[in-house]
């Protein structure tokens, strides 16, 4: 597979359009100079069947490693599940040097930079949405897995649709046609530590959504 972490027009490593996020990255970089501390590029295939959209980089995860969902708790369930259903070469996601490769899959975030307290502001989500819109247009996925309501709303914004018409709900599927092409949007609760530890999201619950996305892709072959 090509483009395992390759930067594209849907990514700007020097973006500082959101002053609050840029200042926050500067502060984190001063205390953790070894961290990536920059907008985090997407990871995976350049023309994936499945595009996974998360919220934003985690402080000691993607913001540290420079790869989405790598080095934090959320990546454990995500990459283990992608591996189980044939979207990843193995289940590990500790470091970018672990040799992990995504197969017919790509992982990105609604917001490319680490937000304070992991809570981007609405204006920051809107400003970063141009990158997501460009990514969807370039990658042409057949299915998108949105991890959480913010990611779900960001995907709809990126393709010019209103969330009120396609409300978020775990395990819900939305059949949409951005740019005249059919696209299945699958919703899941975010695989965060909080959601998994409180059992709001269990492994079987998450696996069932990824399996639904895989079945959709398999049916279209």
Contact 146, 206 (CB under 8 A): no
Nearest to 81 by CA among 186, 221, 5: 186
> pLDDT at position 9, please?
62
Query: Residue 4 — pLDDT band, cuts 50, 70, 90?
Result: low
pLDDT exceeds cutoff 50 at 153 = yes
Confidence category of residue 179, pLDDT binned at 50, 70, 90: confident
pTM for the model:
0.94
Closest CA to 83 of 71, 93, 95, 96: 93
CB 35 within 8 A of CB 70: no
Per-residue model confidence (pLDDT) at position 59? 97
What is the chain's mean pLDDT, rounded? 94
Identify the CATH assignment for 19-219 out of 3.30.1360.120, 3.40.470.10, 3.40.640.10, 3.30.420.40: 3.40.470.10
Task: For Cα atoms 167, 169, 172, give the angle at the middle one, nearest 5 degrees.
Answer: 95
Q: Does position 215 have pLDDT exceeding 90, yes or no?
A: yes
Residue 86 and residue 63: Cα distance in Å, rounded?
A: 26
Instruction: Classify each residue of 164-201 as buried b or exposed e, where b means 16 or more C-beta atoms within 10 Å of its C-beta.
Output: eebebebeeebebebeeeebbbbbbbbbbeebbeeeeb
192 or 2: whose pLDDT is higher?
A: 192
Burial of 216 (0-12, 13-18, 19+ CB in 10 A): middle
């Amino acid at each position: 597979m090509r483009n395992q972490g390759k930067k594209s027009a849907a990514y700007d490593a020097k973006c500082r359009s959101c002053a609050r996020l840029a200042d926050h990255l500067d502060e984190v970089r001063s205390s953790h100079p070894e961290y990536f501390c920059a907008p985090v590029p997407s990871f995976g295939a350049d023309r994936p069947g499945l595009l996974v959209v998360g919220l934003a980089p985690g402080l000691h995860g993607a913001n540290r490693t420079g790869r989405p969902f790598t080095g934090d708790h959320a990546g454990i369930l995500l990459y283990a599940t992608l591996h189980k259903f044939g979207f990843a070469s193995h289940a590990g996601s500790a470091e970018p040097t672990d040799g992990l490769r995504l197969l017919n899959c790509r992982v990105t975030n609604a917001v490319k930079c680490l937000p304070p307290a992991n809570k981007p502001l609405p204006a920051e989500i809107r400003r970063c949405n141009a990158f997501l819109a460009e990514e969807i247009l370039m990658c042409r996925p057949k299915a998108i897995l949105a991890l959480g309501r913010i990611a779900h709303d960001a995907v709809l914004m990126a393709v010019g649709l209103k969330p009120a018409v396609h409300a978020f709900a775990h395990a819900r599927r939305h059949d949409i046609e951005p740019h005249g092409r059919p696209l299945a949007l699958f919703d899941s609760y975010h695989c965060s530590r909080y959601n998994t530890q409180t059992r709001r999201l269990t492994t079987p619950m998450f696996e069932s959504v990824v399996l639904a996305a895989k079945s959709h892709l398999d049916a279209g072959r």
